[in-house]
Chain A
């Protein structure tokens, strides 16, 4: 059971936040990368490319600098997820992320990478909007996933897109029903 928990992407994200003593939003993802000894480069790329990660002397993460800042934060958090969870599988290759939410079933996605993308997304969601910080920010207010004003405010506070905040609040509501 413990082993299973340790492999959970969200658990790993929470561990990383605790390790680096990050207790406030917005979560400083650049700082996290720096503390992990990762080199981050912001480079203009083709529109559909979000970012990539590969090993040189250090791990190197490249983020598409043409995207919205919140999107860049998500890209960096997603690549940090690959760094924490999948470096063994990346090995000497260059792992490229294109359109996070589209998982075409082609020859390459069949090699287990679509599962890893979902894991990196879960990691990124928890890293950028940690559940305990979200609950803290809500401060006992009633949550309504349709309340656009509240969602916009929270999204600004955490420096994430509104879609991401809507998704995280949806997950929070689901978790509360399950527990």
Chain B
């Protein structure tokens, strides 16, 4: 019984926290980018106002299949919030018993599928080109994260969330080669997971007119934007729990604050990299990630031999 209550309360706490903090992280990102660009930048709370404004607009049906458009919008936010329930954010993961690492991988892939659905539902030429780019990059990108989780699972000898998502990649005797390799790989590809420059190819504004999201406006666009902001928080949280777990053993309020501080630092790093790079072309990005996939396979082999 206690477990069920904990699941519900913890799940709500996680979801609520992600919903609350995601626009703030976006605000910080925009403000820091503006300061790097020598300008004033929007207020920190601006993304909240943007979302409220979009939610208040008229809900227009457009594109080729409006029902699918609506469904894709709901699904994207729902999937990312479901992932929030599976991640230990300073305390144990709420849905620890209900799911494991494989479910996590699938849910993350589902978030990418939502963009595909969105682009198909819109049916315009630009959105179709955009989703073809998104699919190409997903094919080479998702394996990287999956391999990182599997390496952790191999070391922790279990697929349970709490055990894998607590720095398990380093859990070997001696130097954790596979863990360090995966750390470098994830750092190099992190920008692509959170869809920021230099790897925000599918939603390149100047080239493709927003790509898959071209037919979205009003409340449905608000949901997509919210999911995009939440992705930054969720992926940062996953990165922190997998690769930077030190300090999570401290007693509760301190561990929770430390966790969020680490996430915040990661957001700042994402901002600085995004502000100082140009966008890559899709073939250059694919080549880059394919190389990283090769390296991560080496890490997987090392992990299965206990290094």
Partners in one complex: no
